[in-house]
Amino acid sequence: MNESTISNNNEDGQLKSNSKDNNNNIDSNLSLNNNYNKFTILLNQVINNNSSHSNSINSSLYILGNKFINLIQANNYINNLIYFTYRCGFEPIPKTIDGPQPIQFFPSIIFNKSTLINFTNLKSLFDKENFTSDSGWGCMIRTSQNLLANTLLKLNKNKDNMTEDIINLFQDSSSCKFSIHNFIKTASESPLQIKPGQWFGPNAASFSIKNLIELSQANDANNLLIPQVFISDNCDLYDDEITILLELKPLLLLFPVRLGIDQVNKYYHQSILQLLSTKHSVGISGGKPSSSFYFIGYEEQEEGNVELLYFDPHFPQVYENPINVNTYRTKNYNKLKIEDLDPSMMIGILLNNVNDYLNFKKQCIETKNKILHFHPEFHNNDLTNQSWEEIQEVEDDFVNLNIRNDDEEFIQL
């Protein structure tokens, strides 16, 4: 065998060996890639499962008629709601001679860090002749503003820049339609004669909302749709009356009620939850003794425990002009056991049309709501609440909503 033949055979053997090694390398790379892809898929599944597990909740959240089982979705919805709190340094509201004096509320301002860090407005806070803050007395007004603002948000959900337009209506200035200044003005001119610095009750709050909306009805503010307001302090609704109103415009129903003596009677617990869970809900302005909160819904645990969810207005912020929209939103909400709820409250329901009313009425009847009462027609001589006459079985814990007590007109919230 000549050298040329030996050389060619060696080259052929080397080529075959290299080819085999390359094939082995390719197979090895393919195997690694397949394993990596499998690992990546498995890892993503684990991450997604953990993410889904962390975002899911072992309960149901009902927020202004929307049901959530995912915490992120619930928090995003809450963060888009409008949130009003105490403000300091706003346009002065003159005191009255026979009313509360601004000086008596100074401690609630002095000991709050959020107001003292802004020295520009500090001097105006200590005005003996005028109220420049509602800290210590305006919480029921703020929760009423919350209810009304989120009603407008629900009613105008498809409009651009609606949040800022709505907030501008509530700025702390007498020139703004739904400002704290105008809440006080309309209540002071009413038979209730509430003065600056005095606490509002559910009746004063509902009366102020109705009057302020009627004043703005000529032209929808900032191109926003503004509803009519219907107040029923005895919780009676008459089909013919409501139908006529809904033929004209959406309707905000307000029910200023007292559902017990010192606490909400258990007889009404499920009815309150039903009114918070209905898609027509715009919340409840109420709270616990000496504090008013804006209740946006409730959380129902798997084991059956229920806690109400609310925005707390007792957080003084400095008045800003132009507005800072971020200060009118919050990711935080608090919880309260329904047993601790004060019996005085203002319940809000928004109806867009007659079909909404019929749907709402059906829900209330099917769930045997014990707060609201429906009648086909209104009669002038119908002075008796249905809740007293139509209860077939008298329960020991039943509270007659017809009982009126002038001393309970104002609850110190």
Per residue in 290-324, pLDDT tens? 899 999 999 998 777 899 999 999 999 999 989 99
- With respect to residue 198, please indicate whether it lies within any of the assigned structural domains: yes
- pLDDT per position as a tens digit, 192-212: 899 999 999 999 999 999 999
- pLDDT at 387 (0 to 100): 39
Rg, the chain, Cα only: 31
Going from the C-alpha of 126 to that of each of 254, 297, 391, the distances in angstroms are: 36, 37, 55
Whether 159 maps to a domain, the answer reads: yes
In a domain, 27, yes or no: no
Q: Choosing from 127, 176, 239, 314, which is the catalytic residue?
A: 314
Tens of pLDDT along the chain (413 residues)? 544 444 444 445 454 445 545 555 545 554 545 554 554 445 455 444 443 344 666 788 999 999 998 889 999 999 999 999 999 999 999 999 999 988 777 666 655 555 554 545 555 667 789 999 999 999 999 999 999 999 999 999 888 789 999 999 999 999 999 999 999 999 999 898 999 999 999 999 999 999 999 988 765 566 899 999 999 999 999 999 999 999 999 999 999 999 999 899 999 999 999 999 999 999 999 988 789 999 999 999 877 789 999 999 999 999 998 999 999 999 899 999 999 999 999 999 999 999 999 999 999 999 999 999 999 987 665 544 433 333 334 344 444 444 444 444 443 33
Number of neighbours of residue 54 by Cβ within 10 angstroms: 10
Rounded Cα gap, residues 398 and 389, in angstroms = 12
**139 annotated active-site:** yes
| Catalytic status, residue 373 | no
Tens digit of each residue's pLDDT (9 = 90 or more) over 119-168: 455 556 677 899 999 999 999 999 999 999 999 999 998 887 899 999 99
* Catalytic residue chosen out of the listed positions 88, 312, 364, 373: 312
User: Could you tell me if residue 59 is inside a domain?
Assistant: no
If DSSP codes are grouped into helix, strand and coil, which group holds residue 317? strand
| Cα–Cα distance measured from residue 109 to residue 137, given in angstroms and rounded to the nearest whole number | 12
Indicate whether 241 belongs to any domain.
yes
**Which whole-number Å values give the CA distances from 168 to 210, 364, 366, in the listed order?**
19, 35, 40
pLDDT score of 43: 47
In a domain, 52, yes or no: no
Angle at 252 between CA 249 and CA 254, to 5 degrees: 150
- Confidence (pLDDT) at 377: 84
| Number of domains within the chain | 1
- Structural domain that includes position 295: 66-375
Q: Which of 87, 83, 103 is nearest to 95 (CA)?
A: 103
Asked whether residue 128 is assigned to any structural domain, the reply reads: yes
Does residue 393 lie within any of the structural domains?
A: no
With 0-12 / 13-18 / 19 or more C-beta atoms within 10 angstroms meaning exposed / middle / buried, residue 147 is buried
The predicted structure's pLDDT at residue 217:
72
For residue 342, indicate whether it is catalytic: no
Q: Is the torsion defined by CA of 102, 106, 108, 112 positive or negative?
A: positive
